[in-house]
Structure 1
Amino acid sequence: MSTVLPGKQILAKHVNLKLGPGLLQSSSANATDSSIITTRTGVLIHSTNKSKWWVEGNSRRYVPAAQESVIGMVIQKLGEGFRVDIGAAHYASLDGLAFEGASKRNKPNLKVGCLVYARVSLAHKDMEPELECFEAQTRKSEGFGEVKGGFLVRCSLKMCRELLDPNHFLLPLLGGRFPLEVAVGMNGRVWVNAKEPKLVIVISRCIEAADPDGSGLNETGVKTLLGELDV
């Protein structure tokens, strides 16, 4: 890991190379191949096998990236689709047919204020982001779609990435104490649900407490917090 500034060229090569937020692949007419440059300040991070690269910053403003999962709120119905707030500079569009099994006669009836767990299918700096509520390869929902009930927790983008790391302690720790449902968006939003309202509050408090932009509690600190909350 190393700290980078915008405009720095990155030497990243892999057969299945995937670039995340903060990196841009550009090509020049005079170049034989494309180059990868950073677009924001932060820490350059890559996966263990160096197939995935991204720049981790402390920004709370989400910059859409293709294939990322997000949680959005429907703010307007437009013709055959919807306009969705995903916390980015621009609203995203969600087609009424971008759901598993949807057809012109059978489309979801989302209302303003509904929450959807979706995947970014198109992200370009000069275009409005587009969303889909199914997996691209299987066209099955795979958990995407409207999420009902529960509570929406807002946190840092870094916290969302940590929650998606299977080695992170928080979700396994909470899941070992009581059943819960969690949908993590890469856009700084986490939807949580449990059998009792009290447990929903506990999950929300723990996420906020473990957030690096908040208290940044480690596993020991969260266990202490759970004891104070009598869970």
Structure 2
Amino acid sequence: MIGGNYGYRRKKTVDNFIHNVYTIEEDFQLRWLDKQLTKACRDGHVLVYDEFSRTRPTINNILLSVLEEGVLFLPGFDAEKQSITVHPEFRIIFTSNPLEYAGVHKTQAALEDRMVTIELNEMDRETEVAITMANSCLSDEDAGKIVDIVRDYRVIVSSSKTCTVRTCIKIARVLDNEDFRKYRSSITKNMVAEILFSESRHKVINQKEVYPHVLSLIDKYL
């Protein structure tokens, strides 16, 4: 995200002004290559740090001085350029998943104090249908049926975060190679149910109790 020293630059000068006298000068320099954060800080770009909470908090400590003092320190760089001043137009947008998601780390308080957190509401049905269509070959009508199954399943298990639009996409990709009239087979019902249950691993549910309701949803919409 910051950059590093990658390879060397070699410069060699041979002075043969007098035919039997040689003067040779060699200079070796480390080659520093900027990465995303350094380029954005130097040039004043907007940097999108997607799912930053998947990164260990200690790695994000480099951002504290960037957001507070406006200075980016460059570890491993040469002694004369150990830091750069952050461009006044630099902006950074963080995105993250809720803490209950697997692989998510709690953000350190020092970093939270330096950002403004905006909680996003759940997506509406039309948005979920559009995203499902964009990631499958299903029609608007068929994608809507899958979205309705997932949305009703959230109500059954009493959790809006149990299944996301990714669940809709998974189901759509399983089903989009078949005629929609074939979706009512027992094998297909079981596949859809297993996808829903797999997305509910973090929430304790009684699958035997919920399973009949899931089958009813599939029969209702498919």
Same fold, TM-score > 0.5, yes or no? no
User: Which structure shows the higher strand fraction?
Assistant: 1
Q: Report which of the two structures shows the higher radius of gyration computed on alpha carbons.
A: 2
